[in-house]
Structure 1
Amino acid sequence: MKGILVQLASVLILGIGAFIGAYSLTWVSYTAPLLESEASPLGVVMTKSQTNVMTSVVTLGSMVAALTTGQLPELVGRKKSELFCGLLCVLSWALIASAHSVTQIIIARFILGYGVGIHLVVVFTYINEICQAFIRGTMASIPLFTFSIGALVSYITGWVCSYDVIIYLNLSVCVLFVLLLTLMKESPVYLITKNETKEALTSLKFYRGTSKTTTAVLEEFEYLRTQRQGYTKVNKDDNIILEHIGCEKEKEGSADDISPWKILRTSKPTQRAIITLTAHVIITAFMGGMAVQAYAVHFFLAAAPDLSPHLCSVILAVAIVIGNILAVLCTDLVGRRLLLISTCAICTICLGTLVGLLRWSGSPAWAVPLVMQLYSCAFQAGVNNVPLVQLSESFSPKVKSLASSIVMSSTCFSNFALLSIFSLLVDHLGLDGTFLMFCVISAAATVLTFLTAKETKGIRLEEIQGMYERGFLYYK
């Protein structure tokens, strides 16, 4: 029990990075109207185009980070990578606090996005390597839960707090994140990779809540060592296969000899897993969930002018929190595949209903916000959650950082593209036309996930890779 509490506390600390990311994304929702007004705290009035850049540049920074820092966790470790992320976030909010120009705000937001991007690449790998197998799905859902808490706190403080108070609150959270990270230990899997056996065993005992080297700890330590050093092997056809071969060096190649890029080039299961998860995150990003959160105040001003947009935004954030609570509860209970397919279908129904409400007048004022709450809840519960959980489960340790970099950079690029064009879509298609497009994409995502989504709940790595070996389509 103590070990589970240590793992939970560690994951909650890592979840602060997601909290920071959510706050950073939604900050623009209520700050942009102020910066575009004559009362702008910058001393200059920000234009609509500058607001769009300020909104989307965070996701651009995250995309650049995912593309350029994919091997950072393998070079310096998971803990130091997260510390670097925290320091970048501290620097960013310090720049925003002292900003008197639009350029400085945009640069600071890019740095913030870069830091959050590093966090996205590292966090799920870190969680997977420090948590026990039977709770990994639940633990991997917690950063998404803290993301939703960040959005909720952001909307509430944006409603009741001043511009300066919000900035210094964010700066304080970033400093707290860095301080708490110093209490954690490096991933035992990373330490095994660096042949730091004593430190790796100490780390594993820390995360299992014991100061003694028990039989269970030794067995798990040996399993981690063989998984890292002996699960990848080149067969006679020059294909990478997964089989338990222990810690011995093989004449044909060993995990230490083979680079992640070679595994990616030669392993069809790894290629198919990356393609499948990348396709999922791209198509689900264009279902519109991130745009609704980033432009919440603007959206509710246009869609439900009779209601307080700040109140609607807070209620939206509550729905996102509920969705992530469901994700934490259901990911290991229901299973990945069913949760993903069902939430995609619910999102499609909600988006179709929303289109009808926006296009034909006469519906109650509360109807649009209610449908948006249901949509956001379903989106967070499965659509936004499951691919990231599976990202931590579907790859061998040797290639996991590279796979995370590829999939997360695709996520960031998709969100950046969506946020960049969302205002243009609304201007040219209207809200109803824009959400009709999201509805069509959501329907396509439902079909795609039904055909290709794998069930990874409670399944060992070699079995998951075996499913991808059989092809892209799902077979029981």
Structure 2
Amino acid sequence: MGLLLQVVCTGIICSMGINTGMIFAWPASTITMFQTENTTLDRPMTDTEISLLGSISSIGGLVSTLIAGFMLDRLGRKKCSIITGLSLVIFWSILAITRKVELVLLSVLFSGTGSSIFLISTVYVGEISQESVRGVMTAASVVSSGLGMLLSYLLGGSLEYDVMIYVGLSMTTSAACLLFFLKESPTFLMKIGQEKEAAEAIAFFRSLKISDQEVIDEINLIKRALNPDLEDELSPEAEKLNAKCKAKPVEKLSFWEFIKKSRSTRRAFYVSIFMVTASIFQGLIMVQIYIESLFTEALPMVPTTLFSVMFAGVIVISGSVGAYLTDVAGRRALMMYASLGTGISCLVLGSQMQSHWGPSWITGVFLYVFPVMYTVGAGTVPFVLLGELFLPEVKSIVSMVIVEWTWFLDFLSLFIFNSLLKYLGWGAVFYIFAAGSFITTVFCYFFLPETKGLTVEEIQPLFMKKKHRNQC
């Protein structure tokens, strides 16, 4: 029963991921129409405006994620998710009442504020889930985004413009209402001094009585994570986690003091930054926005709407498989071998689209192998790691910085991609994706430790140099 409650709460907060995925992929079904004289807007969009249509939501994501990173520890995970849900309702509402190009772009910019749900859900789900299912639960936000994209491709290709908007508005409003039924994270409740409420939350998520020993143990675990013992010669984790060390008075440090003293937090941060960067430069994000252009060039005889829907469906299915494999195969192996597979797929696609050395069915096959490999690896693992690598003392702000970096790269890559595509063509672009994938494989082999089934207290020492792991 406890696992079911964790699943339900994860499903509620990830319902906003579905709606965000719909909004993210919405330009894919409108880019072509918005450039023609038959546009539903007051005038056709220029090339620059088309580039902004596909990328400007990332600017909203930058701003909202920055705010959410600080508000998570002030308002809480539940209230932040509700505010995010309401911002997505506003996006669809603006689209429903205007046809002006400038206002449509403004609404897309505003829609990016809802993107902070990925930070909020990653932190929330990581804090309510037990270790045995944490990877699957955290990866649910990635799967939910893919499901939203699938719906967007499907509905955008079959519904009139106005009908699509009202369907999106109805779905987002319903999902935002469900957020009011969430139970707050026990870690946040402990951070604000509500120990009794935190114990009640743990008992709720585990289907236990508040007096059960498991609840007491989890409360004590959160206390230790929130109040690390620090001294100059040791990292916070080495001092706090080594049971043989002598007990010392708790020294409460500021965020920056903590980061300065913590070797393992800094190393985990560097690894996380690389991993989310890899998730951008392996290329699927750009492909999802310009998918109609890709299929038109690669398979001109096949309806693009059909292939777009199938493409999104593959992402959803492979995302579900990837979520399962994170707790079976492990994070490190999954990221390494999936990135290798992504690189090979991109090499095949790049050479095929440049020189047409084989039949068209090869292109069709690898256009689906590519998203499968990407989704089970770079599309899933970095976000699972984001939810489990950092102590609660710094988790919200560090996660915010990493997600901010992701949104910056999203905007930059999507803004320049239209020009890059026109200048280089799809073949050369896939070579760039392949290079990013192979570099990721090498990096994971040398620098990414395995974190499957471990608590944050067990994970942090893995990022310390060996000579510091057992110091007292």
TM over 0.5: yes
Aligned counterparts, 1:418-433, within 5 A? 418-433=413-428
Q: Which residue of 2 aligns with 1:16?
A: 15
- RMSD of the TM alignment (CA)? 1.8
Q: Say yes or no: does 1:174 pair with 2:172.
A: yes
Distance, in Å, in 2 between the alignment partners of 1:434 and 1:172 is 38
Q: CA deviation at 1:463?
A: 2.8
Following TM superposition, by how much is the alpha carbon of 1:220 offset from its aligned partner in structure 2, in angstroms?
2.2
8 A contact 1:227–1:244 mirrored in 2: no
TM superposition shift of 1:239 = 4.5
Q: Secondary structure at the match of 1:185?
A: coil
**Paired residue for 2:287, among 274, 292, 310?**
292
CA-CA distance at 1:11 after TM superposition: 0.6
* Aligned AA (2:230): V
Contact in 2 for aligned 1:321/1:377 (Cα 8 Å): no
Rounded to whole Å, the distance in 1 between the matches of 2:433 and 2:196 is 52
Q: What is the aligned counterpart of 1:234 among 206, 230, 234?
A: 230
Q: Which amino acid aligns with 2:100?
A: S
CA-CA distance at 1:226 after TM superposition? 2.9
1:156-171 pair list within 5 angstroms? 156-171=154-169
Aligned counterparts, 1:47-446, within 5 A: 47-116=46-115, 118-210=116-208, 213-229=211-227, 232-237=228-233, 239-242=235-238, 243-244=240-241, 253-254=250-251, 257-361=252-356, 363-446=358-441
- Pairing of 1:453-468 with structure 2 (within 5 A): 453-468=448-463
Residue 61 (structure 1) shift: 1.4
- The CA deviation string for residues 171-208 of structure 1, in whole angstroms up to 9 with x for no partner, is 11221122111111111110111111222122222212
Aligned to 1:474: none
**C-alpha distance in structure 2 between counterparts of 1:113 and 1:378, whole Å:** 27
Q: Counterpart of 2:293 in structure 1: which amino acid?
A: H
2:469 corresponds in structure 1 to none
Classify 1:424/1:62 alpha carbon distance in 2 versus 1 (closer, same or farther; 3 Å).
same
Q: Return the alpha-carbon distance in structure 2 between the equivalents of residues 133 and 325 of structure 1.
A: 18
1:212 Cα deviation after fit: 5.4
Superposed CA deviations along residues 368-409 of structure 1, whole A, max 9, x for unmatched, are 232111110111111121111111111101111111111111
Counterpart CA distance in 1 for 2:418 and 2:215 is 54
Deviation (angstroms), 1:228:
2.3
Residue 461 of structure 1: how far off its partner (Å): 2.0
Deviations 1:257-312 (A, max 9, x none): 32222212221111111111101211331111100111111211122211111111
Contact kept in structure 1, 2:232 and 2:261, CA below 8 Å:
no
The CA distance in 2 between the partners of 1:130 and 1:55, in whole Å, is 34
Q: Which moved more, 1:31-40 or 1:316-325?
A: 31-40
- Which runs of structure 2 are paired with 1:35-46 in the superposition (5 Å)? 35-46=34-45
Report if aligned partners of 2:200, 2:210 keep a CA contact under 8 Å in 1.
no
8 Å CA contact 2:282–2:378 kept in 1: the answer is no
Letter in 1 for 2:352: L
Question: Structure 1 residues 51, 113: closer, same or farther in 2, change over 3 A?
Answer: same
The Cα shift of 1:96 comes to 1.4
Do 1:144 and 1:324's aligned partners in 2 also have CA atoms closer than 8 Å?
Answer: yes
The Cα offsets for residues 57-100 of structure 1, whole Å up to 9 and x where unpaired, read as: 11221122223431110011000110111011111111111122
Contact 1:264/1:270, CA 8 A, preserved across alignment: yes
Aligned length: 462
The verdict on how the C-alpha distance between 1:149 and 1:5 changes in structure 2, with shifts beyond 3 A counting, is same
Residues 351 and 439 in structure 1, CA contact (< 8 A), matched pair in contact too? yes
Distance in 1, matches of 2:249 and 2:70, equals: 25
Q: Give, in whole Å, the separation in 2 of the partners of 1:208 and 1:462.
A: 20
Question: Which consecutive residues of structure 1, in runs of 5 or more, have no partner in the other structure?
Answer: 472-476
- Contact persistence 1:36–1:45 (CA under 8 A): yes
How far apart are residue 214 of structure 1 and its match?
Answer: 2.6
Give the residue type in structure 2 aligned to 1:436.
Answer: Y
Task: Please give the alpha-carbon distance, in whole angstroms, between the structure 2 residues aligned to 1:286 and 1:330.
Answer: 22
3-state SS in 1 of match to 2:72: helix
Kept after mapping to 2: 8 A contact 1:23/1:151: yes
TM-score (norm 1): 0.93
Q: CA deviation at 1:251?
A: 6.8
CA contact (8 A) 1:348 1:443 kept: yes
- Partners of 2:459 and 2:237 lie apart in 1 by 12
Could you state the TM-score of these two structures normalised by the residue count of structure 2? Answer: 0.94
Q: Is the 8 A contact 2:9 2:183 kept in 1?
A: no
Q: Which amino acid aligns with 2:68?
A: T
1 CA distance for matches of 2:71 and 2:449? 29
Whole-angstrom CA distance in 2 between matches of 1:325 and 1:121: 19
Corresponding residue SS for 1:70: helix
Percentage of pairs with the same residue: 27
CA distance in 1, matches of 2:162, 2:337: 42
Q: Which runs of 4+ in 1 moved over 6 A?
A: none
